[in-house]
A and B are shown apart, each in its own frame.
Chain A
Amino acid sequence: MLSLSKKSDEQADVEPLWHPDFRNVERLPDTKVVRTTFFINTAAIAATLALLMWLGYREFHIRTLEQQISEAEHQIDTNSRQNKEALRLSQVFTDEEKKLDAAANFVHAPLSITEFIEILGNTLPAEISIESVDARLSDARNRSYVLRGLVAGTRDKASGSASAYVDTLRANPRLKKVFDAITPERIAPDGATGLLSFEISLKEKPEGKK
């Protein structure tokens, strides 16, 4: 019985036939159960479909993006005029705010001179007399006050009073908040009056330090 399957030319070379083969292989029908054409067509169609789906998905994605872009552009166009006006107003506001800030910074001081003098008046003991107050306020990072005064009483008591006065100043909550250091610079007898003279310096804290 003749084989139903086609044999390749290679096989023909390997196994010599016992009689001449007159078959025209090219014209013989494909008699395999599942034909080669089926596999080729299936693979080709599957590959084509896969590529088609890939391309389709990507085109859909592009279309969606383009729609979203157009929506965003529409939103930009719709609000563009209002946005320009808002930006203009915002610039005007910023300029005006700068002017107000300049004035506020100009007058800003952690402690006004009148408040400082009032605190001195409220904390001054009876035996102490302030002869001069020198405020140096031009440099915002290095503001200081210098108090010069006289203390009544015997020298031993007077020096104690001067030290106690420095402690009183240091304990004052408002001064504590504003000044970094309150230090007695000099305590010495005053030649003219015979009393004990003193000098106390108060250095303001730099801005921002608490």
Chain B
Amino acid sequence: MTLLRHGIQVTPPRGWDARIYLRDAGPGERTHPILHAATVRLPGDRGDYGSNVVTALGSDDAFVALLEFDAEAARSNLFAASGLPRVSARDLRPQTLHRTLPGQSGLQMFFHVKARAFSLYVVVGAHSRRLFTMPRVQQLLGSIRLEA
């Protein structure tokens, strides 16, 4: 099943739960679409970078978050990289985590597609199993299309 919302398209491989959502903006804020995908069921009360999801990851599980930012960010140094990154197991680091949990590792990359700025964040349940997990993540990422 393909999801397409807010210019983000994903076709989750078998075994992945995926959501594309846009939070209501609070006073003064701007909100942007977020894609969450995980090999576990996504709870409703999850944080944008995976709180309440990453704690549920088993050794062979993975969580992916793709967050969009303001369009102006696309021209900034932080988002200078162009195009959805190609990732590998070598990119995973135990310290590259929003919240460090034992055994897990992650990666984070900022990039832009045309005038859209994004952050890609990936967590795998066990760093020791990353060579197994990463292909599943790559398969998911390969299904993502970002409209300009």
Do A and B originate from a single complex? no
- A residues contacting B by CB (< 8 A) are none
